[in-house]
Structure formats: C-alpha cells, structure tokens
C-alpha cells in the first residue's frame, strides 16, 4: 500500500507534479459545475412553465448583462503576448506588466487611482508567487 502513495521522480522533474494535480482537480470541478448547471436548468424549465408571467416581470426590472467583447479579446491578446514575453523577459517583469495591463483592462479606466491599484496589485501578487513557489517550495518558474 505504501508504494501506491510513493512518487518516483528525479529532483529536476518535481515541478511537473503540481500542475498535473491542478489540471486534474480543475477538470473534475469543471465537470461538477457542468452537471450542476444542467440540473439547475432542468429545474428551471419545470418551474418556468408555472411562473412564466412572473419571470417576465422580473426580467423587465433587472438590467441585462452583456458579453464584453473588448475585455475578452483584450484578455486573449494579453495572454498570447504574455506567453511569448516569458521567454524574452523572464517571470517577474513579464508577470508584473501582464497583471498591470489586465487590471487596467478590467477596471475600464486609466486614471491615477486605477494605475496605482494595478501596480500595487501586480507587484504584491507577483512577489508573493515568486517567493512562495520559487523560493520556499523551490519550484521552477518560467
């Protein structure tokens, strides 16, 4: 039984274990969310027939959320640039710039307060990740 829980890896490959575990966990949680969403939609369809008039009145009063194309496209572009820039500039600098730009994109305005928030958020987050994973756990960062 003890051999089932033992991982036989060389030290240089230790950093590959954690991302695989996270991928499996996120996949499992994604499947759970999809099942939960399907079950909720089935329940809503059953009750919608009974409360159709009531739901129409509620929908008129609530603002509708729209898909923001600018944020989606901006995020995809920033992620692609971030992936290439990691090789050129390294983890710390690239991640700080990426988080600053992403935060400004999602805040929606570029003013003194937004810039200060994004810089402090980026510096703190990147340094904590670098210290915890890169130094404390000795995991290789890109």
pLDDT digits (tens, 9 = 90+) for 18-70: 777 888 899 999 999 999 988 888 887 777 666 665 555 555 555 556 677 88
pLDDT the model gives residue 6: 66
pLDDT the model gives residue 18: 73
pLDDT at 124 > cutoff 90: yes
pLDDT the model gives residue 31: 94
Q: What mean pLDDT is predicted for residues 79-105?
A: 91
How far apart (Å, rounded) are the C-alpha atoms in residues 24 and 27?
5
Six token digits for residue 99:
């988080």
For residues 17 and 7, is the Cβ–Cβ distance under 8 A? yes
For residues 118 and 107, is the Cβ–Cβ distance under 8 A? yes
Q: What mean pLDDT is predicted for residues 112-135?
A: 89
Alpha-carbon distances, residue 53 vs 37, 43, 56 (angstroms): 23, 17, 5
Mean pLDDT of the chain: 81
How far apart (Å, rounded) are the C-alpha atoms in residues 33 and 29?
6
Q: What mean pLDDT is predicted for residues 94-115?
A: 90
- Out of 6-10, 65-69, 85-89, pick the least confident: 6-10
How far apart (Å, rounded) are the C-alpha atoms in residues 116 and 93?
17
For residues 104 and 115, is the Cβ–Cβ distance under 8 A? yes
pLDDT band at 80 (very low <50, low <70, confident <90, very high): very high
- Residue 58 has phi, psi (to 5 degrees) of -70, -40
Helices (H), 1-111: 17-50, 52-61, 69-89, 91-107
Q: How many residues belong to the chain?
A: 142
Six token digits for residue 74:
């901006």
């Amino acid at each position: 039984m003890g051999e089932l829980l033992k991982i036989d890896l060389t030290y240089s490959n230790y950093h590959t274990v954690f991302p695989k575990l996270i991928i499996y966990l996120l996949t499992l949680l994604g499947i759970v969310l999809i099942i939960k969403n399907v079950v909720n939609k089935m329940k809503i369809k059953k009750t919608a027939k009974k409360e159709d008039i009531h739901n129409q009145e509620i929908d008129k009063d609530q603002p509708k959320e729209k898909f923001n194309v600018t944020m989606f496209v901006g995020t995809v572009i920033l992620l692609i640039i971030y992936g290439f820039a990691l090789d050129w500039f390294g983890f710390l600098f690239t991640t700080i710039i990426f988080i600053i730009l992403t935060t400004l994109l999602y805040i929606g305005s570029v003013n003194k307060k937004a810039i200060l928030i994004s810089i402090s958020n980026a510096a703190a987050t990147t340094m904590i990740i670098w210290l915890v994973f890169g130094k404390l756990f000795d995991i290789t960062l890109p």
